[in-house]
């Protein structure tokens, strides 16, 4: 009898675990980096644009700086599935098909990402994945897809956690390691259940290229930054909060606002998905996106998301623990006027001992924490420092 009961228990446990397969582990030990078509091109995408973008990412140094995922967002599909129920790449936009595009990217050292949606239709009105999850996942695997961003429009009364789990299980069953990016805009606290389902989850609605504006669907990046406070406890290697993509270099941001978004997204250990036209950016923007010392803050192997240490009406301090006892400290002027900051390092109690200080945007060592630090910060700009211990 006892043997029978324990057999049943084991079988029961096995069936539970096969019903909710675990995600592929280890695909995103640090936050994914790459480029996504949506912020600049929306549905105006085609294979020529994607190939030219990949070529530009190589020529401008971004691929080698870590931007390896090239993600095609909404609008690559035909408006209807084929008679067998398959999603079909639009033959006008992608005449060579997605497998050929994936091959082009893989041959150049990139990984290949696509977007679709957990609802009946995507936000741009193309067929969504609901009810087709396993079929779609098999197609993605056969096209060589490495990353799927899965959206949440037109979901009706579906339960978010269960719906994303279904797609996670489908991806697992398709047998190809695919990064699963959950994009339900933070509506259903994905930071509480996303860790076993996907590798990253959006925490808010969509970013747009402004500092503090707001529309019905979209938010300037400062609003998104404000919404990240307190979420740091939920992120870590292979399970990241995603405060949406970069607007760095897009027309609605000043260079200071681009530099500040890049700095603060790095403090957040956010996925760094460029969203500008990298075929035609200025040297200044290229310099922001490829600053290796700032990227190293984002990609630090400790995998700890930074947190807001202090906030006043026009200034904020964000801090991030890094490996080897280092810390990143980011001062942000959120006001409309220039700001002078004066820092007494003893007021940052997490700093134990003495540190040397490096200014990551100047690319210079600027002293030690045994004396105070003073800096001028322009409106909406940052000063970003890396502190490294030098013993007692």
**Which CB sits closer to ligand GLA, 241 or 308?**
241
Q: How far is the CB of 152 from ligand GLA (least distance, A)?
A: 8
**Which CB sits closer to ligand GLA, 50 or 383?**
50
Residues 59, 235 contacting (CB under 8 angstroms): no
**Which CB sits closer to ligand GLA, 124 or 302?**
124
Q: Which residues bind ligand GLA (CB under 6 A)?
A: 38, 73-74, 115, 122-124, 151, 183, 206
Give me the phi and psi of 142, to 5 degrees please. Answer: -70, -25
Beta strands in the chain (DSSP E): 33-36, 69-72, 111-117, 147-151, 179-182, 200-202, 206-208, 218-220, 240-242, 272-274, 307-312, 315-321, 327-333, 339-343, 355-359, 364-368, 373-377, 382-389
- Nearest 5 degrees, angle CA 111-CA 113-CA 118? 155
Q: How far is the CB of 202 from ligand GLA (least distance, A)?
A: 6
134-155 per-residue burial string, b: 16 or more CB within 10 A, e: under 16: bbbbbbbbebbbbbbbbbbbbb
Helices H / strands E in the chain, number of each: 11, 18
Q: Which residues pair with 241 in a beta bridge?
A: 201
Residues 229, 308 contacting (CB under 8 angstroms): yes
**Which CB sits closer to ligand GLA, 190 or 303?**
190
Residues 113, 148 contacting (CB under 8 angstroms): yes
Place of tokens 């270099």: 249
Tokens matching residue 331: 């001062």
Q: How far is the CB of 26 from ligand GLA (least distance, A)?
A: 25
Q: How far is the CB of 238 from ligand GLA (least distance, A)?
A: 21
Active site residues: 151, 206
Q: What share of the chain is helix, strand, coil (3-state, %, to 5)?
A: 30, 25, 45
Q: How far is the CB of 213 from ligand GLA (least distance, A)?
A: 17
Q: How far is the CB of 71 from ligand GLA (least distance, A)?
A: 9
Q: How far is the CB of 259 from ligand GLA (least distance, A)?
A: 23
Q: How far apart are the first and last CA of the chain?
A: 65
**Which CB sits closer to ligand GLA, 185 or 355?**
185
329 CB-near residues (< 8 Å, 6+ apart): 317, 318, 319, 348, 384, 385, 387
Q: Which residues pair with 365 in a beta bridge?
A: 358
49-88 per-residue burial string, b: 16 or more CB within 10 A, e: under 16: bbbebbebbeebebbebbbbbbbbbbbbbbeebeeeeebb
**Which CB sits closer to ligand GLA, 71 or 382?**
71
Q: How far is the CB of 389 from ligand GLA (least distance, A)?
A: 39
**Which CB sits closer to ligand GLA, 270 or 330?**
270
**Complete edge-to-edge strand list for the sheet that includes strand 307-312:** 307-312, 315-321, 327-333, 382-389, 355-359, 364-368
**Which CB sits closer to ligand GLA, 39 or 60?**
39
């Amino acid at each position: 009898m006892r043997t029978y009961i324990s057999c049943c228990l084991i079988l029961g446990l096995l069936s539970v675990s096969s019903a909710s397969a675990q995600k592929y582990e280890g695909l995103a030990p640090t936050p994914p980096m790459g480029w996504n078509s949506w912020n600049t091109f929306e549905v105006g995408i085609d294979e020529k644009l994607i190939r030219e973008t990949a070529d530009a990412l190589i020529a401008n140094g971004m691929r080698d700086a870590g931007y390896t995922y090239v993600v095609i967002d909404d609008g690559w599909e035909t408006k209807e599935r084929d008679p067998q129920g398959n999603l079909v790449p639009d033959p006008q936009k992608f005449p060579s098909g997605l497998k050929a595009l994936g091959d082009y990217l893989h041959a150049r050292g990139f990984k290949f990402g696509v977007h679709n949606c957990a609802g009946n239709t995507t936000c741009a009105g193309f067929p969504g994945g609901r009810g087709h999850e396993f079929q779609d996942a098999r197609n993605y695997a056969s096209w060589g897809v490495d990353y799927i961003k899965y959206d949440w429009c037109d979901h009706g009364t579906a339960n978010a956690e269960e719906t994303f789990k279904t797609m996670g299980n489908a991806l697992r069953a398709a047998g190809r390691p695919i990064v699963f990016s959950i994009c339900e805009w933070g509506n259903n606290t994905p930071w509480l259940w996303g860790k076993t389902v996907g590798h990253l989850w959006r925490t808010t609605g969509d970013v747009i290229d402004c500092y503090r504006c707001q529309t019905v669907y979209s938010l300037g990046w400062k609003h998104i930054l404000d919404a990240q406070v307190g979420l740091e406890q939920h992120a870590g290697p292979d399970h990241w909060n995603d405060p949406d993509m970069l607007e760095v270099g897009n027309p609605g941001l000043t260079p200071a606002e681009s530099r500040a978004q890049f700095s603060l997204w790095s403090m957040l250990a956010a996925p760094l998905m460029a969203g500008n036209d990298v075929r035609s950016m200025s040297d200044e923007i290229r310099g922001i996106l490829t600053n290796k010392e700032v990227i190293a803050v984002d990609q630090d192997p400790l995998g700890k998301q930074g947190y807001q240490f202090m906030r006043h009406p026009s200034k904020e301090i964000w801090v991030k623990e890094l490996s080897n006892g280092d810390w990143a400290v980011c001062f942000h002027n959120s006001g409309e006027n220039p700001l002078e900051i004066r820092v007494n390092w003893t007021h940052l109690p997490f700093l134990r001992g003495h540190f040397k200080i490096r200014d990551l945007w100047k690319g210079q060592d600027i002293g030690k924490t045994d004396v105070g630090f003073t800096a001028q910060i322009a409106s909406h700009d940052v000063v970003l420092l890396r502190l490294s211990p030098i013993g007692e």
